[in-house]
């Protein structure tokens, strides 16, 4: 699993992860595992797998590290 840092969270149930490679990955609250979306915070380290959504790459299986 890859790791990154949560860059931005919205009140609409989605966020973006800074992967460290210059690209950010979108993720939806339905892709968060082990904790509630509301328990996540900006700057938090997370692990994830990169998947494919309707609009391009997205993070799946997002878990705090």
> pTM for the complete prediction?
0.93
Looking at residue 30, what is its pLDDT?
Answer: 96
Q: What does the domain layout of the chain look like in residue ranges?
A: 2-64
Looking at residue 41, what is its pLDDT?
Answer: 98
| 26-59 pLDDT tens trace | 999 999 999 999 999 999 999 999 999 889 999 9
- From the CB of residue 42, how many other CB atoms can be counted at a distance below 10 Å? 11
**By C-alpha distance, which of 53, 44, 42, 52 is closest to 3?**
44
Kindly state the average pLDDT of the residues 1-10.
96
Q: What topology is assigned to 2-64 in CATH? A: OB fold (Dihydrolipoamide Acetyltransferase, E2P) (2.40.50)
């Amino acid at each position: 699993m890859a790791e990154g840092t949560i860059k931005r969270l919205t009140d609409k149930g989605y966020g973006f992860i800074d992967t460290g490679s210059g690209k950010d990955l979108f993720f939806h609250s339905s892709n968060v595992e082990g904790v509630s979306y509301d328990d996540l915070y900006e700057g938090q380290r997370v692990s994830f797998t990169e998947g494919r959504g309707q609009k391009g790459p997205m993070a799946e299986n997002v878990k705090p590290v």
